[in-house]
Structure 1
Amino acid sequence: MAATDPAFRSVPRRAPCFLVWRVESMVLAPVPREQHGRFHRGDAYVVLSCSERGAAPGAGRGPLETHVHFWLGSGASVDEAGVAAYKTVELDELLGGAAVQHRELEGTESSRFRSYFPAGLRHLDGGTASGLTHVSDAFAPVLYAVKGRRNPLIRQLPAVAWEHLNDGDVFVVDARDVIFVWTGRTANKMEKIQGARLAQALKSEHGGADVIIVESGREEELPRQVKSEATVDADERHERRRAEDIKLYRCSDQDGTLKVVEVKSGPLMQADLDSGDSFIIDNGPQGIWVWVGKRASAKERAEAMRNAQGFIKKKGYPISTPVTRVIDGGEPTDFKTLFKSWRDKHAPVGLGKMAALGKIAPTIQTSFDASTLHENRALAAQTQMVDNGGGQKEVWSVVQPR
């Protein structure tokens, strides 16, 4: 059995956790909690989330749902990307092989991945190979774009210039001593909230700064050339691309070579899946899912992610197409929603016992005599019930002793 990577020694067994590692010099290095959500374009990362279904990342007391993501920046090297992918498989095996695996690419992260970082997912320039750890007192202003409807994404832009602004989003200029939050005329509510959060986070990182909110069209003495919101993708199109009809493919290596055969087009049913094989659910550029059956071969299980990436290349989909691997019996909710019907094993059928209007048992009215409560003297004394006034009364007076 291969030795456990020292980076994974901090991973608890069967307990909630949320951990992030970055590939540095071809090995994994832990990312401090205060830096979670900051991803450099020149690097590759591995993210582990173990939590109760529906709970915050790393929280919960019930059955755990485990997700392992490897994130690749646009400037990450092929070797760094390979290390992140390999370590994702290694971490999955360490956790028992039932984790859901995700490939995340800069700018096309899944909604689940973005939800891990309430303060915002930030794309930053540079990386470990470009001397990221070098500390300098020099500071150059930075421009961030905040875009998205549910979980807005924060991107660092090439330069602070009007040409990068548009009226449909929110932009933040970090000048260290002063932080400007510029809101476009048609920016949505979540973008405005995330922009304010980013400004406060930058203020804390700098140890204090003035935050100034500027609305589009209300700048003073600033020459402006802001793009119209019509020149960029609407938020709905940005998050929901029109996909082809969903399709199901069967993957099999019975004769030693992998074969991918189309099974059917949507709608998909849970019964279409067979635990003896692995399947690819093709949802177009919106995402490729690989489902691995419990009785699938070890080769199918180990090469599921690689096969999915080969499938993307063959279909001519963008390289940024999301890829997720799930295991039979450990399907997340967003996978189940791809099927017209899905029922978990041991799940209750219907709503269970219910009280229907008009079928509630009638209430029987009976007469009650409160005086009968005094018949049990011991109980009356124990509960300090009020005396009924019957019986003999004796009164003593206290006089001065002789």
Structure 2
Amino acid sequence: MAFYSKDVDPVFHGAGAKPGLDIWCIEKLRLVPVPKSSIGKFYSGSAYVVLSTSVLKSGPTQHDIHYWLGNDANEVDSALASDKALELDAALGSCAVQYKEVQGQETEKFLSYFKPCIIPVEGVFATQEGALKGDRYQVTLLTCKGDHVAHVKEVPFSRSSLNHNDVFILDTASKIFLFCGCNSSIQERAKALEVVQYIKENKHSGKCEVAAIEDGKLVGDSDVGEFWSLFGGYAPIPRDSALGGPQQVDSPVTLFWISLQGKLSQIGSDSLEKDMLEKNKCYMLDCGAEVFVWMGRNTLITERKTSISAAEDFLRKQERSNGTHLTFLTEGLETSIFKSYFNSWPQTAETKLYDEGREKVAAIFKHQGYEVKELPEEDVQSYINCRGTLKVWRVNGHELSLLPASEQTKLYSGDCYIVQYTYPGTERDESLFYAWLGQGSVLEDRADAVFHMDAIVDSARGDPVMAQIAQNKEPLQFFLIFRTLIVYKGGISAGYKKFVAETGVDDDTYDEKKTALFRIQGTGPENMQAIQVDHVSSSLNSSYCYILQSGTSVFTWIGNLTSSKDHDLLDRMIELINPAWQPISVREGSEPDSFWSALGGKTEYPREKEMKKFIEDPHLFKFTCTEGKQVILSFLLFSGRIICFFLGSEVFWL
């Protein structure tokens, strides 16, 4: 429900009443509506306010507000757009999440509104747009990144702009060239093709040729020769070092209180509690690559404006990158990402089915006179520092491909990877190496993974620890250093693609256009995974939550034996996999026909609480009794059976 008053800009009247987008632009110090014919067209010299309204089946109307700042927009227009976004939020009843969007660094949520992409144009928005001057077509070179949404950016028309990791689009008067770097992903290439089609239809009226250029292909194709001639002839593109690349910097998480005068005062770092946030104050949470401003329900509009200005001044003075995302949250509308930075966050949702059953059982036992105590949560405490530096390489035959930081938590079951984790030890930095072998990987890649790991370890300093692990047999420590992990089906390596081509088996590599089913697992924000499984109903299990992606529909399936902790992990993983998704929540036993249809029909699946399997590798345990005379007993466990006891210096074999 909207709450309009005489102080609200009349241009906002009626905004958010219907699902869809409302867009305004700053023109001559006032906000004017952008006509539907111009939606998706953003001028680099202007500032915009965008409202996205959606109605979810599982809840009320949801509003998201974004203010977009072009790289050439002046400070006055930029500040006015920020104020108008806050004014719009107040008009909607302070029930929206606000995002600052900077040209070239937009969030995936924002880009998801515009299919397939936005391509900012030079100039300033005008209500009455004039005709384009000149009849010469401007040749442009664009880079296209992103698996879920397309981040399109114009780069200098020069050979030095090309590289092996990205996808590029060269738009000329008569032909559009698509150049795919050899290290670019299949998903990026698919997104880039959608952008090419968009350019063809909107800039060329569908009348131009399209040519695909493969990185490294030099002869036998006239399109290749024509492409390189536009750059003055062919010359090799420098190849990135496989073992090089910038170090990932892990910034401390810091919470600041923002005073009424806009002064920042640090009140906490890393170990944060929800109780630190008071209803009548505003706070800034600095997480390095992203910054949040949290505004209590009892704060005034003037206080919120001051807080937003204080946060923007803070980033400006620190000379933070334009890629630093700034999000504004009102109390009660916190995102899962924001909550994950706090040690605990009280659950406000209704009591879940499993919790209700557990409480009823406990009440019955208490009535019978038995004392009931809840078992403690499983111990997931790590024995090493999990705030170190992580580097991940994909094995590609005899070569290694270093994954960028944004991709290193996404593995494919058909590939093998080398993981290096460096963390501060007692006297020096320590290193831990894993060779992770996907269950669908080929034998040659597995052998190469071990070889590559040995080579890297030989060149490393100190005494690093090595481990070879297979998918689905990972130790807890592996998941804790990743914190968040997504495992897709299929593979990207040349070895996997060759195996698919030679055997003729179906290539089940993840594609967002195809049906996909993810099982959500883990114990908390520091240890959670989304594992893609076969998209059939027999893959379900009442002990887990799942995400089902089928075309334009996304379902979240909640098993009857899951707890509120599992539901929290489900919400967090949805936002991490694709923040643009708006899922339909489904409880076990109340699934619509479309859900079962996406899984190929309803069949039987496990409905009992899943128990831990036997420990297959040998493990040594020590038991100490401190009552009376101290007794220390150790035993060796293998395949779920105790092999022998150690009592003092004696060994008892069983």
1:151 deviation in Å? 2.9
The one-letter amino acid of 2:238's match is S
Q: In 1, Cα distance between the equivalents of 2:179 and 2:185?
A: 13
Which of 165, 176, 180 does residue 179 from structure 1 map onto? 176
CA-to-partner distance for each residue in 1:121-161, whole Å, 9 max, x for gaps? 323333338x97432443222221112344331012243x3
Q: In 1, Cα distance between the equivalents of 2:286 and 2:332?
A: 20
Q: In 1, Cα distance between the equivalents of 2:339 and 2:277?
A: 12
Higher relative contact order (CA 8 A, sep 6+): 1
Note the residue ranges of structure 1 that are not aligned, 5 or more in a row. 54-59, 359-402
8 A Cα contact 1:252 1:260, kept in partner: yes
Which of 295, 307, 310 does residue 310 from structure 2 map onto? 307
1:194 aligns with 2:187: no
8 A Cα contact 2:47 2:77, kept in partner: yes
| Structure 2 residue matching 1:97: 3-state secondary structure | coil
**Which residue of 2 is the match for residue 49 of structure 1?**
52
1:328 aligns with 2:341: no
8 A Cα contact 1:119 1:198, kept in partner: yes
Aligned runs of 1:114-263 on 2, under 5 Å?
A: 114-128=111-125, 133-136=130-133, 137-159=135-157, 161-205=158-202, 206-208=204-206, 209-218=208-217, 219-220=224-225, 222=228, 223-225=233-235, 227-228=237-238, 230=240, 242-253=249-260, 257-263=261-267
1:3 deviation in Å? 5.3
CA-to-partner distance for each residue in 1:102-130, whole Å, 9 max, x for gaps? 2111222223223333402323333338x
Q: In 2, Cα distance between the equivalents of 1:22 and 1:52?
A: 25
1:212 deviation in Å? 1.5
8 A Cα contact 1:103 1:323, kept in partner: yes
**Which residue of 2 is the match for residue 38 of structure 1?**
41
| Structure 2 residue matching 1:38: 3-state secondary structure | coil
CA-to-partner distance for each residue in 1:211-269, whole Å, 9 max, x for gaps? 2111112223632235435299x9x98xx96341111112233xxx4443212111333
Alpha carbons of structure 1 residues 230 and 39: separation in structure 2 relative to 1, 3 Å: farther
Alpha carbons of structure 1 residues 33 and 197: separation in structure 2 relative to 1, 3 Å: farther
Q: In 1, Cα distance between the equivalents of 2:280 and 2:24?
A: 34
8 A Cα contact 1:280 1:289, kept in partner: yes
The one-letter amino acid of 1:180's match is F
Alpha carbons of structure 1 residues 357 and 183: separation in structure 2 relative to 1, 3 Å: closer
Note the residue ranges of structure 2 that are not aligned, 5 or more in a row. 218-223, 358-559, 562-606, 610-654
Q: In 2, Cα distance between the equivalents of 1:11 and 1:320?
A: 29
8 A Cα contact 1:46 1:71, kept in partner: yes
- Give the ranges of 4+ consecutive aligned residues of structure 1 lying more than 6 Å apart after TM superposition: none
Q: In 2, Cα distance between the equivalents of 1:72 and 1:329?
A: 27
Superposition RMSD in Å? 3.1
The total of aligned residue pairs comes to: 341
| Structure 1 residue matching 2:79: 3-state secondary structure | helix
Which of 74, 79, 100 does residue 76 from structure 2 map onto? 79
Q: In 1, Cα distance between the equivalents of 2:284 and 2:53?
A: 25
CA-to-partner distance for each residue in 1:185-221, whole Å, 9 max, x for gaps? 1111222112100111112112212221111122236
1:39 deviation in Å? 2.6
- Answer with 110-119 or 207-216: which moved more: 110-119
| Structure 2 residue matching 1:217: 3-state secondary structure | coil
8 A Cα contact 1:312 1:319, kept in partner: no
CA-to-partner distance for each residue in 1:21-53, whole Å, 9 max, x for gaps? 222333333334454443332221111112246
Q: TM-score, normalised by structure 1?
A: 0.74
| Structure 1 residue matching 2:138: 3-state secondary structure | coil
1:279 deviation in Å? 1.4
CA-to-partner distance for each residue in 1:31-81, whole Å, 9 max, x for gaps? 34454443332221111112246xxxxxx6732232211111111122221
Q: TM-score, normalised by structure 2?
A: 0.47
8 A Cα contact 1:152 1:190, kept in partner: no
Q: In 2, Cα distance between the equivalents of 1:61 and 1:275?
A: 27
Alpha carbons of structure 1 residues 229 and 347: separation in structure 2 relative to 1, 3 Å: farther
Q: In 2, Cα distance between the equivalents of 1:229 and 1:11?
A: 51
Flag the structure with higher strand content.
2
Q: In 1, Cα distance between the equivalents of 2:278 and 2:107?
A: 27
